Amino acid sequence: MLDQKFIRENPTSVEESLSLRGKVFNIAQIQELTLQKKEIDIEISSLQSESKKLSKLIGQEISKSKNNDSLKVDNLKKKGNEYRTKISEFEEKKRILDKNIHNEICNLPNLPSKDAPIGKDESHNVQVKTWGEPLVTENLKSHWEIGESLNLFESVKSTKISKSRFITLIGNGARLERALINFMLDIHTKNGYLELMPPALVNSESLTGSGQLPKFSNESFKCSNDDLWLSPTAEVPLTAFHRNDIIDSKQLPLKYVAYSPCFRREAGSYGRDTKGLIRLHQFNKVELYWFCDPSKSIEAHKKITSDAESILKKLNLPYRLVDICTGDLGFSSSRTFDLEVWLPSSKCYREISSCSNCLDFQARRSSIRAKIDKKNTYLHTLNGSGLAIGRTMAAILENGQQTDGSVKIPDALVPYFGSNFLKTA
């Protein structure tokens, strides 16, 4: 959430910055509401001041007359009641304004970083670097073809259990998924992250705090009888873990890692990636999350990205790092680095992690602060997949495929998987 005072005092700057996202944001209505609120605050303060003076005067009159029923005292009390009535009326107007302002600002995305590349869509994203040697051999199989031949997962039968875009992992497929989860969690906890296993069901306040609501309600699955939703990403419960907290600044940065199942409708993506593990309604992910001092979030962004990269390097999976342009940024992000893994069958890189610096956007929505320099300050939050499990499996299957139909397991994963190769039974 953006700071309403900043919006009120810098309307042109805010509009210009938000326009870099490729959409026009007219904040005149918000500015008008915040100005009205400021005027009401001044009026309430003035009335409260007059009311205090009157209360003092009533006390003096009572002391002088020693008669609580004197006409003058009665008139003063009547005037005092009028002040209280007016204050109550203005406070009700303020409550309504606060709600309207909150609702309006909740629909505004984060301001893009001045360091983010300017562009209207993903075609303007900037490749920063590549790592590893992409496999470019002809006639390579796709990961879903490999999965079917090795009996690793089943999508057709899964439609009987649920519907399309759900998958059932079988035998070595389930074993490989479990190995990847444990491998990633072990690496990240050794790097100083505290492991959490949060609920998979989250309430509306949690989704609002991280930025999924109100704008993206159509992307999540909601329970019909409760104020609960299936979590689209562990970023949601990890943000909410410290909602309304004032964190001891000596504990910063707080670094969490969490495995979680994720659930997304993938609205608007029908017809894309209908086969395999790339775009499912349910998938597993290991999430990295930081709460840090605002003065240190730029360096923290580099570190969380590096921590996600380390998994790809240990698995020897070729990838590239991409600086996301202003028009392609996520709603809550100010700056994002994407990690894209090489998929040989499609001869392209595909996103496997988005590492974002959200500045104080989520902390402001969730009221997460720390006392820094004797002042309660909204923290900066950062998040990144470390990594998406299904897409990591897809990359291993495609990059590790052998001419005999087997798949070589990355050396770092062998202790977790228990074998060097995936083979037909």
Q: Per-residue pLDDT for 133 more than 90? A: yes
Between 216 and 130, where is the model more confident?
130
**One domain, residues 96 and 146:** no
Domain contains 397: yes
- Is 134 in the same domain as 191? yes
Task: Name the percent of the chain lying above pLDDT 70.
Answer: 97
91 and 136 co-located in one domain: no
Q: Number of structural domains, the chain?
A: 2
Whether 102 and 129 share a structural domain: no
- pLDDT for residue 361: 98
101 and 132 share a domain? Answer: no
Across residues 97-120, what is the average pLDDT? Answer: 95
Residues 322, 229, single domain; the answer is yes
43-57, 87-101, 312-326: least confident range: 43-57
pLDDT given for residue 59 in this prediction = 75
**So what's the pLDDT on residue 210?**
97
At residue 261, the pLDDT reads: 97
For the chain, give the mean pLDDT: 93
Cα(181)–Cα(178) distance, integer angstroms = 5
Residue 129 and residue 95 in one domain: no
346 within domain boundaries: yes
Calculate mean pLDDT across residues 363-370: 98
**Residue 269 pLDDT grade (very low, low, confident, very high; cuts 50, 70, 90):** low
pLDDT computed for residue 268 by the predictor: 57
pLDDT above 90 for 199: yes
Dist CA 263 CA 283 (whole Å):
7
CATH code, domain with 130? 3.30.930.10
What's the CA gap between 421 and 321, in Å, rounded? 29
Question: What average pLDDT does this structure show over 204-231?
Answer: 95
Judge contact between 105 and 2, C-beta under 8 A.
yes
Amino acid 67: pLDDT:
55
Interval 165-182 mean pLDDT = 97
Tell whether the model's pLDDT for residue 273 goes beyond 70.
no
Q: Cα separation of 358 and 331, whole Å?
A: 9
Q: What's the mean pLDDT in 382-389?
A: 98
Question: pLDDT class for 387, splitting at 50, 70, 90?
Answer: very high
Domain annotation covers residue 84:
yes
For 25, 27, 126, the CA distances from 16, given in Å and listed in that order, are 9, 11, 22
Provide the domain limits for residue 43: 4-106
pLDDT at 322 over 70: yes
Let me know whether 190 and 278 are in one domain.
yes
Please give the Cα distance from 155 to 283 (Å, whole number).
13
In a 13 Å sphere around the CA of 134, the CA atoms on its Cβ side amount to 16
Same domain, 341 and 403: yes
Q: Please give the pLDDT value at position 270.
A: 57
Mean pLDDT check: name the lowest of 6-10, 165-169, 245-249, 398-402.
6-10
Question: What would the pLDDT profile of 116-126 be if each residue is shown by its tens digit?
Answer: 999 999 999 99
pLDDT for res 266: 80
Task: Please report, rounded to a whole number, the percentage of residues in the chain having pLDDT higher than 90.
Answer: 83
Distance (Å, rounded) from C-alpha 345 to C-alpha 332? Answer: 33
Residue 22 counted as domain residue: yes
Output the six-digit token pair for 308: 């996600």
E strand or H helix that includes residue 346: none
Choose one of 78, 106, 134: the last residue of a domain: 106
On the question of pLDDT at 423 being above 80, the answer is: yes
* pLDDT at residue 71 tops 70: yes
The predicted pLDDT at position 112 comes to 98
Report the range of poorest mean pLDDT among 40-54, 238-252, 322-336, 363-377. 40-54
End-to-end Cα distance, the chain? 53
Task: Note the pTM of the prediction, 2 decimals.
Answer: 0.91
Instruction: Characterize 295-329 residue by residue with b for buried, 16 or more Cβ atoms within 10 angstroms of its Cβ, and e for exposed.
Output: eebeebbebbbebbbebbeebbbbbbbbebbbbbb
Same domain, 312 and 177: yes
Residue 211: predicted pLDDT:
96
Provide the pLDDT for residue 8. Answer: 87
Based on the fold, state whether residues 77 and 138 are members of the same structural domain: no
119 compared with 267, residue with greater pLDDT = 119
pLDDT digit string, tens, across residues 39-69: 999 999 999 988 888 888 877 777 776 655 6
Q: What's the pLDDT score for residue 424?
A: 79
What CATH number is given to the structural domain containing 34? 1.10.287.40
Whether residues 132 and 233 share a domain: the answer is yes
